[in-house]
Amino acid sequence: MDKGFKSGFIAIIGRPNVGKSTFMNRVIGQKIAIMSDKAQTTRNKIQGVLTEDDSQIVFIDTPGIHKPKHKLGDFMMKIAENSLNEVDAILFMINAEEGYGRGDQFIIERLQHVKQPVYLIINKIDQVEPDALLPLIQQYNKMYEFEEIVPISALEGNNVDHLLELLKTKLPEGPQYYPADQVTDHPERFIISELIREKALHLTREEIPHSIAVVIEKIDPRGEEDKLLIQASIIVERKSQKGIVIGKQGTMLKEIGKRARRDIESLLGSKVYLELWVKVQENWRNKPHQLQEFGFKR
């Protein structure tokens, strides 16, 4: 560990549409590129990694704390609450324009047992008069003891650098968890590939063997219209199987994609654009280097 290097995990929570993704995109800039396989070590979605000469902040999106878009329900909620205790700090983002609402009440209740410092981030200040901020600050101050309250505009960038500096100074000394060129990760990769595989097997009525593999080639959070772009390949062993998976004029593959997309969306709680390919790779099961490529190494 470099002396003086600071690092930590920071969770971003808040109701939908308060600007969490916009904030992440601004912070991480253009550099988002998905890593290939990573161990499924964290149950959190890593949104972005900000690496500078003397620090690294890993921003995570804690699934479940945004209220039940997730079908995993109670289980996810437990994980969400536990993981709030594992991070170094929490950013609780609200929308200056909307003010307090039931979704916030839900989150604040969950923060009651959290020991980590919680920053209240009042976003979209470009949308309100400056004198609207003080009453909002006073209102939230009564509900919770925040470490700091920081008004920003994620869209226009106001005060974002100040917030990052503040977070950096409060981070503990620690190692660089991720390589400097890695900016995001997606622990749900494996579940996504399993969902696609399940649909393929089911819809082809198991005319193709269970040994087919699904490789997630790319997950890009910056798809059009805030959709997550997911590109995946279904790997079969024979040309005849490829024909079955694709179906007449592509109808089978389309149906596989449609059903998988629905499940993935409800798993992730976000809109998804799913692109599927079918590839033939003979005897891939017997080739160790290919097993690695397909993500079976761990």
Binding site for K ion (CB under 5 A): 21, 221, 226
Task: Note whether 21 binds Mg ion by CB under 5 A.
Answer: yes
Task: Note whether 233 binds Mg ion by CB under 5 A.
Answer: no
Quickly list H helices, the chain: 20-28, 73-84, 102-111, 133-143, 160-170, 189-203, 239-246, 251-268, 288-293
Task: Report the partner that residue 126 touches, choosing among Mg ion, ligand GDP, K ion, none (CB closer than 5 to 8 A by kind).
Answer: ligand GDP
Residue (6 or 15) nearer to Mg ion, CB: 15
Task: Report the partner that residue 16 touches, choosing among ligand GDP, Mg ion, K ion, none (CB closer than 5 to 8 A by kind).
Answer: ligand GDP
Convert 174-205 to b/e letters by CB count within 10 Å (16 or more is b): beeebeeebbbbbbbbeebbebbbebbbebbe
Residue 85: partners with Cβ closer than 8 Å, 6 or more residues away? 113, 114, 115, 116
Assigned token pair, 253 = 């593959």
Q: Strands 213-220, 228-236: parallel, antiparallel or unpaired by DSSP?
A: antiparallel
Provide, rounded to whole angstroms, the least separation between the CB of residue 66 and ligand GDP: 8
Residue (20 or 197) nearer to ligand GDP, CB: 20
The verdict on whether residue 55 carries a ligand-binding annotation is no
Residue (22 or 42) nearer to K ion, CB: 22
Task: Note whether 186 binds ligand GDP by CB under 6 A.
Answer: no
Task: Note whether 155 binds ligand GDP by CB under 6 A.
Answer: yes
Q: What residues from 107 to 126 belong to the interface with ligand GDP (CB under 6 A)? A: 123-124, 126
Task: Note whether 153 binds ligand GDP by CB under 6 A.
Answer: yes
What CA–CA distance (Å, rounded) separates 257 from 162?
A: 43
- Known binding-site residues for GTP equal 14-21, 61-65, 123-126
